[in-house]
Amino acid sequence: MATYEQVVSGGAGGAGNVDGRNVYKARFGSADCSDMPQLQAWDDEDMNSVAIESLQGTDNNGGESQVVAAHTTNIKTGGPWAPASGSAGGGVMQDPNGVGTSHRANRLRGGESYLELGDSGDSPPVADEERYFQLGFAVQDDNNTGTAGHLPILAIKTFYSGAVPDVSFWYNRGEDDLAATEVNADWQEMTSEDKGVPMPIGVKNTIHATGPSTTVTALDPVTKPGSGEKFAEEQWIQTAL
């Protein structure tokens, strides 16, 4: 029987288009990056197409990607944070807390609209540095139902001048303290793959965007809204087949 565990299972912050900070992170191994890494979304592991509905959007949402991401290394998102539209070149800067400190957020679609894992004034990550981010998955009132067209691939594009950075993905199954201290975080590494190498959906390889009644043994579908756009209430990771 498949079993699952919730991304950020308790505490002040959560996963999705809500206030959050310590939700997902990428670690950049034993080599420096020469430029800001880019969090991208594609329709398969070849990363050369964005034809699926989740990335193309629908008529009623104006053709905007329904996969959103925010950089949270420096600051929490401060509540609902998803931008209304995608922005080429790394995303828009937002000040969610009204204190003059901003972070990047974007709707992801291939190399056209991505999220730079760094804010204004940041330097590219060096060896063993971590960058944090938040993810959200939207459903529009005119979306097709089912999983077809709604299984995007997330990827991080790195830039380097020497050795290749060894990138790993992590999720927090503990609590999000909304602070850099991470006292109650419980980080778990996800299974990742190289570009062009398919991997069966399975253990710690898939983020399931679900409804609010998901349990450790049963995923609850996201209910399509009667009008407008909503975001999946929870996110879960499969831990056993």
**pLDDT tens track for 171-216:** 999 999 999 999 999 999 999 888 988 887 778 999 999 999 999 9
**pLDDT tens track for 1-41:** 899 999 999 889 999 999 999 999 999 999 999 999 999 99
**What does the pLDDT read at residue 202?**
78
**What does the pLDDT read at residue 99?**
75
**What does the pLDDT read at residue 193?**
87
Band the pLDDT of 89: cuts 50, 70, 90: confident
Asked if the model's pLDDT at residue 61 lies above 90, the reply is yes
Beta-strand pair 175-176/10-11: parallel
d(CA 36, CA 80): 25
Give the residue, 120 or 176, on which the prediction is more confident: 176
- Judged by phi (left if over 0) then psi (alpha if -120 to 50, else beta), residue 8 lies in left
SS (H, E, C) the chain: CCEEEECCCEECCCCCCCCCCCCEEEEECCCCCCCCCEEEEECCCCCCCCCCHHHHCCHHHCCCCCEEEEECCCCCCCCCCCCCCCCCCCCEEECCCCCCCCEEEEECECCCECEECCCCCCCCCCCCCEEEEEEEEEEECCCCCCCCCCCCEEEEECCCCCCCCCEEEEEECCEECCCCCCCCCCEEECCCCCCCCCCCCCCCCCEEEECCCCCCCCCCCCCCCCCCEEECCEEEEEEEC
d(CA 220, CA 222): 7
Contact 173, 7 (CB under 8 A): yes
Asked if the model's pLDDT at residue 96 lies above 90, the reply is no
**What does the pLDDT read at residue 200?**
78
Query: 207: Cβ–Cβ under 8 A, 6 or more apart, which residues?
Result: 7, 135, 154, 171, 235, 236, 237
Q: Phi, psi at residue 25, to the nearest 5°?
A: -150, 160
Give the residue, 125 or 100, on which the prediction is more confident: 125
| Burial environment of residue 62 by CB neighbours within 10 A (0 to 12, 13 to 18, 19 or more) | exposed
* Chain-centre distance for alpha carbon 29: 20
User: What does the pLDDT average to over 107-135?
Assistant: 96
Average pLDDT of the chain is 94
Amino acid identity of residue 208, one-letter, is H
Lookup: tokens for 85: 């539209």
**What does the pLDDT read at residue 100?**
77
Task: Count CB atoms within 10 A of the CB of residue 240.
Answer: 13
